[in-house]
Amino acid sequence: MSTTVKPYQEMQSGKREQVELMFNNISPKYDLLNKVLSLGIDKIWRKKSLNLLKSNQPKVILDVATGTADLAIEAAGRLKPASIIGIDIAEEMLQIGREKIRAKKLDQIITLQRGDSEKINFPDNTFDAVVVSFGVRNFEHLEIGLGEIYRVLKPGGNIMVLEFSKPQKAPFKQVYQFYFKNILPVIGKLVSKDTAAYTYLPDSVNAFPDGKAFCSILEKLGFGIEHYKPFTFGVCTAYVGKK
Ligand SMILES: C[S@@+](CC[C@H](N)C(=O)[O-])C[C@H]1O[C@@H](n2cnc3c(N)ncnc32)[C@H](O)[C@@H]1O
C-alpha cells in the first residue's frame, strides 16, 4: 500500500521525512512541472473539484498538504470563504505559496503554516470544509491523516479530496500508462534535477487505493460519501465526504 512506496528507496528514513525532503528539493520547479506534465489540465481539475463544494458555502476552510497553495488560491476566488488556512510539511513549498498569495493580494484570507496532516494543530470541530489536492497519496499513514481531518471538521462539514486515480478503459488506459511510466519521469527528472521524484509519482499512484476502495476508507472513518467524480477518463478523481 501507499506506506511502503517512498521517494528515495535507498534511504533508511521514513516516508514522511523523504516526502518533505523531496518536495523541498523540487519546490522551485513544482508549479512549472505541474503545468507541463498535465498540459495545464491540473488547474481545471482543481476548479471542478472545488465546484462540488459550492452549494455548501464553507466559511472556514483548511487546505491540507497545500504545497504552493494553488488549491487555496482557487478556493478563495471560487468559494469566497472568510478564511483559508493551508498546512504542509515542506517549508520551501510554503514559501513559494506565500509569495503567490501576496502577489494576488489574498493575504487577508489565506494563511499558510507548517503542519502535519497526521497531527493537525487545531481543535476538534473547527472547519466547515477540509480540502486536499494531490496530497493524501503522500501521507505516511493515510488513515491517521484522514482521521485527523475528520476530527477538525465541524459536524456536517465536508472533506474534498482530489487525487490521481488509474484510468480503466482501453485504449486511453494503455496510452496514459505509457506516458505516466515512460515519458513523465524523464521530463520530471530533466527539469527538477531530482532523480527520484517523478518515478515516485507513478509508483505512489499505482499503490494508492483509488475509486471505490478510497470511498470505503472514508466510510470506515465515519464519512458519508456525497460525490465521487472521475475527471479526464479517470486520470484523477474528486471525492466529497460529509462528517
Ligand atoms: C503533490 S503536492 C500537492 C500540493 C498542492 N495541494 C497542489 O495541488 O499542487 C503534495 C504536498 O503534500 C505535502 N505533504 C505530504 N505529506 C504531508 C503531511 N503528512 N502533512 C502535510 N503535508 C504533507 C507535501 O509536502 C507536498 O507539498
Local mean pLDDT, 10-residue blocks, the chain (243 residues): 73 92 95 91 97 97 98 98 98 98 98 98 98 97 98 98 95 91 90 88 93 98 97 97 98
Q: In one letter, which amino acid is 154?
A: K
Q: Look at residue 146 and give its three-state secondary structure.
A: helix
Q: What is the CA(6)–ligand 1 centre distance, in A?
A: 14
What pLDDT score was predicted for residue 122? 98
- The sheet with strand 127-133 has its strands ordered as 110-114, 83-88, 60-64, 127-133, 153-164, 236-242, 224-231
Q: What is the CA(66)–ligand 1 centre distance, in A?
A: 6
What pLDDT score was predicted for residue 3? 46
CATH of the domain at 199: 3.40.50.150
What pLDDT score was predicted for residue 2? 40
First to last CA, the chain: 25
For a ligand 1 pocket test, name from 13, 84, 88 the mutation site with the most ligand atoms within 8 angstroms of its C-beta.
88
What pLDDT score was predicted for residue 194? 87
Atom of ligand 1 nearest to the CA of 162: 8
Give the separation between CA 137 and CA 8, rounded to whole angstroms.
16
Please state the separation of Cα 170 from the chain's center in Å: 27
Give the separation between CA 35 and CA 44, rounded to whole angstroms.
11
The domain of 166 spans 2-242
Cis peptide before 155 (omega within 30 of 0): no
Give the separation between CA 1 and CA 239, rounded to whole angstroms.
19
Q: Look at residue 54 and give its three-state secondary structure.
A: helix
Atom of ligand 1 nearest to the CA of 69: 5
Sign, CA torsion 183/187/192/193: positive
Q: What is the CA(88)–ligand 1 centre distance, in A?
A: 6
Q: What is the CA(232)–ligand 1 centre distance, in A?
A: 22
Q: Residues with Cβ within 6 A of ligand 1?
A: 16, 19-20, 23, 64-67, 70-71, 87-90, 93, 116-118, 133-135, 138-139, 145
Q: For the chain, how many structural domains are there in total?
A: 1
